[in-house]
Amino acid sequence: MSVQERHRRERHARGQAILTAAAKVFARHGLEGATIEMVAREAEVAVGTIYLYYSSRDDLYLSLIADRAEHLRARYLDIFTRRLDPLDELKTIASAYLDYLRESREIFLSQHSVVFSQLHQRLKRNTEKRNFQRVMDLSHEIFGLWEGTIRRAFEGGVIANSMGPKKTAAVVWASMNGAFMLMGDGNFFRDVTGLNPEHFLDEALESHLAASQLTVGRKQSRSRIVNRARKTRAETPLTRAFGAASPATKRARRVVSGAERDILIGPSPSSSPLQGEGKRDEPVGNGERRAALPRKNRETRLQQAAEAAPA
């Protein structure tokens, strides 16, 4: 190893040690309460050493956030290379984010004491501005990767698409962050809720996904019922609707909704605009009765059905 390479590695290791110490200081005191001197004591280096790496406290803080964000992005990209199916990808990405929160607890908690719009306004040095933009770019990219995972889950039919990928990604992301905040003091959470905080985040995520998959299953079931009813209607000659019902029609009547039943056997007497006083009910089959259509209307429909029937 060359002398230059050894110096480069030593500098990188010292910079990482400073970031680790800064994370602890910012977690305890917040950005506004922390100082470079506190970080130097935590890292066991001279104050001047820190200024060799970072131009200010804000520069150090932004570098810390960017460093953690780059690690999270690398995890996401590695997961994508595995070509998992949509549901496994979603669970793996979410699990990676929860691991990131646990490993970066200090920096995550410190971010809630920072108003980024105010921080941006006071930045003067070029290094501070570059690191601020770096944080924003990484944040947008990471959320975009998460949104892409949600979109693929929609397209794969594994979770319900009720709000679109962007809003759903934001809701799930905010839910995980909020649950993690509750875990900040495990004893307090246990005392208030009576729940064990150890696996709460993972269980909450699994519950959310299970509920979404149940919604998808119900929608698919309803879609199959409607499609079956429409197929039965298309295959049953219209004249059969005025006589005995076929077995397929009987099955369809048992499963379709009231709206679909109107499609199969005509509007009910209470809703038909053709209904008037003195109209008698006609037997349809299977014990059901339907309001009689006016003779002229019936003859027209029967004639149209006859003309459409294959020779």
In this structure, which long-range contacts are made by residues 67-71, counting pairs with CB atoms below 8 Å and at least 24 apart in sequence? 67/19, 68/100, 68/104, 68/107, 69/135, 69/138, 69/139, 69/142, 70/138, 71/100
pLDDT of residue 238: 47
Model confidence pLDDT, tens digit, residues 122-161: 999 999 999 999 999 999 999 999 999 999 988 888 877 7
Model confidence pLDDT, tens digit, residues 235-269: 555 445 445 555 555 555 554 445 444 444 454 54
**CA 165 – CA 154 distance, rounded (Å):** 8
Task: Return the exposure string of 150-179: e unless at least 16 CB atoms fall within 10 Å of the residue's CB, then b.
Answer: bbbbbeeebbbbeeebeebbeebbeebeeb
**pLDDT-based confidence at 171, cuts 50/70/90?**
confident
**pLDDT-based confidence at 234, cuts 50/70/90?**
low
Q: Which of 250, 231, 256 is nearest to 288 (CA)?
A: 250
Domains of the chain: 1-53 (1.10.10.60), 59-211 (1.10.357), 236-308 (no CATH)
Model confidence pLDDT, tens digit, residues 66-86: 999 999 999 999 999 999 999
